[in-house]
Amino acid sequence: MENYLAGYWTFKRRNTLCQKLYWGTSDLTTPFSEQFRLGGETTFYGLREGEMQGRHAILVTGEYRYFIPYKPLWEMFLSLRFDFGGTWKNAVKVNATDFITGRGVALSFSTPLGPLSVSYGQASHHRPRVYFSFGYAF
């Protein structure tokens, strides 16, 4: 079972705040390929794609996006994000020290072929990572 809540608030036309809450739980029969994964540019800054995995997960994210009024070729956005969460194999053994944080910044462009983004992030006790993405996830 997984759940996802998100709220977006735009103010003064160029500023957007986004808050997200994601959590999921599964039983002991859940195969490895179906377990929850966190990490990467879209789910947890500072981690490799899917680096954290387990049968139980929680993620809280806060993001601020600014629409840059200067348009050299495409619309540009600057975003700052903070991630807090973790994954567990066994929900009974969850401790406060199991949670980690991630923070990052991204510069994104709205191109005719889809979004283009360059991001930089770091998770607690991990080395910094640079991300590059182009196009839509499917």
Domains and CATH numbers, the chain: 2-134 (2.40.160.50)
Residue 130 class from Cβ within 10 Å (0-12 exposed, 13-18 middle, 19+ buried)?
A: exposed
How does pLDDT run across 17-28, given as a tens digit for each residue? 999 999 999 988
Q: What is residue 54's predicted lDDT score, i.e. its pLDDT?
A: 92
Q: How far is CA 47 from CA 61, 68, 83, 104, 109, in A?
A: 14, 27, 11, 11, 23
Low-confidence ranges of the chain (pLDDT < 70): 138
CA separation for the pair 56, 36 (Å, rounded): 7
Q: What is residue 22's predicted lDDT score, i.e. its pLDDT?
A: 97
